[in-house]
Every structure is written in C-alpha cells, then in structure tokens.
Amino acid sequence: MAQDAVTARGTPRGVVVTVLGALQIPAWGSTFYLLAVLAKPIAAETSWTYDRIMGGLALGLLVAGAVSPRVGRAIAKYGGRVVMPCGVLLLAAGLAVIGAAQNFAVYLVGWAIAGAGMGAGLYDSAFATLGALYGQSARSAITAVTLLGGFASTVCWPLSAFLVEHFGWRDACLTYAAWHLCIGLPLYLTVIPSLRRASAADTSKAVTPAVALLPNERPIFVVLATVLTIAAAILSLIGSQLVTLLQGAGLALSQAVTLGMIIGPMQVGARFIEMLAGSRYHPIWTMVASAVTVCCGVCLLFAGPVTFWLAIALYAGGNGIGSIAKGTLPMALFGPARYPVLVGKLALPILCAMSLSPYLGALALQLGGVKATLVFVSGLALLNVALVFVLLALTRSKRVEDGA
C-alpha cells in the first residue's frame, strides 16, 4: 500500500497526540467559540448589529470550507508539519486584524483570514495529519485528540470572559493571536513529525492515483458526507441557539447557562468511554450511536424543563462521539492512502453547513418560536438517523462484495 512508503519519524506518538489535542483547545476557543463571549462587547463598542457580528464567524467558516480540500491534498503531499503551522499563522493574523478593526469591512477581512486558518488548523486538518502519520492505527490518536479538544468551550469561555472584563474585547483577540504565535507555532514546528517517502515517484503514486473512489464507494461517500453535514448543522444550530431556546421555554439566563455547561463534560465523558471501548467494534457503530443519541436528546427537549438536563446530556454525549466517528469512519471505509484528501473534501460541506445553520435556526425562532425551531432540529436529527442506517446497509453490502 501507499502507506508503506510513507512513515512518520521524529517525536513519539504520545507527545504528538497530546500536543495536537491541547492545541485544538485555543484553536476552537479563539474562533468557533469566540463570539459567544465577545459578540455583545463588540456590539456595545462598535454599534454593529448582532447578526452582522455573527456574520464574521459565518464568513470564516465558509472560507474554512473552501480551503479544506486544498488543505487535505497538501497534508497528503507534504504532511501536517508543513500545513498546520501555516494554519496557526493565519489564525494569529486574522485575530490581530479582528482586534484592530475600526470598521466592519476590516472586521470581515480578519474573519476571512482566520477562516483560512480554521481550515488548516481545526479537527479536519489534525485528523488528516494523524492519518498521514499513522495510517490505520490512527483511530486511538484521533479519539485522544477529540478528548482533549472537547475542553475548548470549558476552558476558553471563562478565559475570554476574563480577558474582556479586564482588558476589553480587542485585547482578548490580540492575546489569542499572541498565544498562537508564541506557543502554538513553535509547538507545531517542533512536535509534528515529518513524513519520509521513498522517492518522488512513490510520492506521486501515493497521493494522486489512490484518491479516486471506486463505483461501489461513491454512494457510501455521498451518504457519509450527508450524514456528517447534517450532524454539523445540528451542532452549529444547537450551539448557537441553545441558551435562547431554553430561555424561550421559561428558564432564566443563569439557569440556561448552567444547563449549557453540561455539554463540555458530557462530550468529554462520552469520548473517554469510546476511547476505552472503541477498538472492539467498527467505527460505523460509533456513527450509529451518535446519530441515535443526538436524535433522542433533541426530541426530548419537547418534554419541557424537567427533562432538559437529560436532553442536553444525551445530545452532548452523541455529539462527542460523533466527532470521533467523523475522524475514524472515513479511514475505516476508504483506507489511509486516500484519507487526508477525502477528509479535506468532507470538510467543505460540513463547514458550510456550520456557517449557515445558525441563521436558519434564528429564522425559525423568529418566525415560529421555540416549538418551530425544535421541530426543525428534530426533523434534521430524525433524517440523520434514517441516513446513518442507509450508510450501515451500504457499508455491509460493500464488505460482502469485497469478501470481508
């Protein structure tokens, strides 16, 4: 296989996994989770409307989706040691521009730059890097990275709040930018191993011809992409609207925020359980469990405040293991040689869905209230359950055809 010609050299695997996982915390915390704390202070100082401010993140996610296929191909060819430092440089530059922005156009430029960094620095590029380094044995590494990355909101929301309270939102952005430059960049450059290839000819054979999907693999890829995209839409919608939905159901802000704090620990706990038991079964079952559990959690929100804690716990646990399935299932289905490139292709619709779904959720909330929004999210969750069982049937059929 192509993977035989591509091996990792340098830093021990445990150190690589720990550093990549730890660096996902500020990567997510200074981008996807940033405006949950900074949006209102930005609006108060600039008089920009809330939806325009949130539009910056939407633009960043769209840019991240647009660059992700190229990022996947670059990691397959050059390795994460080359690509991920570029990502952290772009994150730092984008945050610096956002923090210095005196008008809305410059603010959007900052998010566009940061979006390119998100495409090269969040989970998808980390997964692709681990896949390129460790091949089929990358499953446990991917799980460990998501385990650490699950603390992003838990760590960075209080940190962002502290920075805003004591220094202002602009200095909060600049602090994150400095962190990426002074700590993230050196760690990426020194810890991620380089890839060793036998020859330029082997490199070409390992990357380009192996990417094409076989006829019986294309339906699997399409359904997998759809499942992951819907899951990302639910994640982004719930993540952006949960507190508002809970308040609309009659809870006070403090109660809603307290319930929201369940998400981080439950995500990490579910990932820890998967890390212990995941090697005993195919990753398709992790995806099935994720879709079903998320659906149960979302639908349980209809039952009212008494069961909100259980609904959020189920949603968070399902979403937590869903991140693992997102990283491990493509490897299991399509093999390590094509993995970095295919992960980049899968990231395009996922990140686009994450950028658009908060607006759809806000529209549903504005036009139909809490119940309409829950109907919308529940419909997506039920559709995903149906699709994940279609995916299960397709993968079983392919394994029979392959004689597995």
pLDDT, one tens digit per residue, over 191-207 is 988 766 444 444 444 44
What kind and span of H or E run contains 96?
helix 80-100
Question: pLDDT (tens digit, 9 = 90+) per residue, 348-403?
Answer: 888 888 888 877 777 777 788 888 888 889 999 999 999 999 999 988 876 656 65
Question: pLDDT (tens digit, 9 = 90+) per residue, 9-48?
Answer: 567 888 889 999 999 999 998 998 888 788 888 988 998 8
Is the Cβ–Cβ distance between 8 and 134 less than 8 Å?
Answer: yes
pTM exceeding 0.75: yes
Farthest CA pair distance, the chain: 64
3-state helix, strand, coil in the chain (%, to 5): 85, 0, 10
Delineate the domains of the chain, giving CATH numbers in brackets: 2-210 (1.20.1250.20), 213-401 (1.20.1250.20)
Q: Alpha-carbon distance 84 to 93, whole Å? A: 14
> Distance of alpha carbon 225 from its chain centroid, rounded?
14
Task: Count Cα neighbours of 320 within 13 Å in the Cβ-side half-sphere.
Answer: 28
Which of 144, 140, 142 minimizes the C-alpha distance to 130?
A: 142
Question: pLDDT (tens digit, 9 = 90+) per residue, 61-111?
Answer: 889 888 888 888 888 888 888 899 999 999 999 999 999 999 999 999 999
Classify each residue of 64-101 as buried b or exposed e, where b means 16 or more C-beta atoms within 10 Å of its C-beta: bbbbbbebbbbbbbebbbbbbbbbbbbbbbbbbbbbeb
Collapsed DSSP state (helix, strand, coil) of residue 11: coil
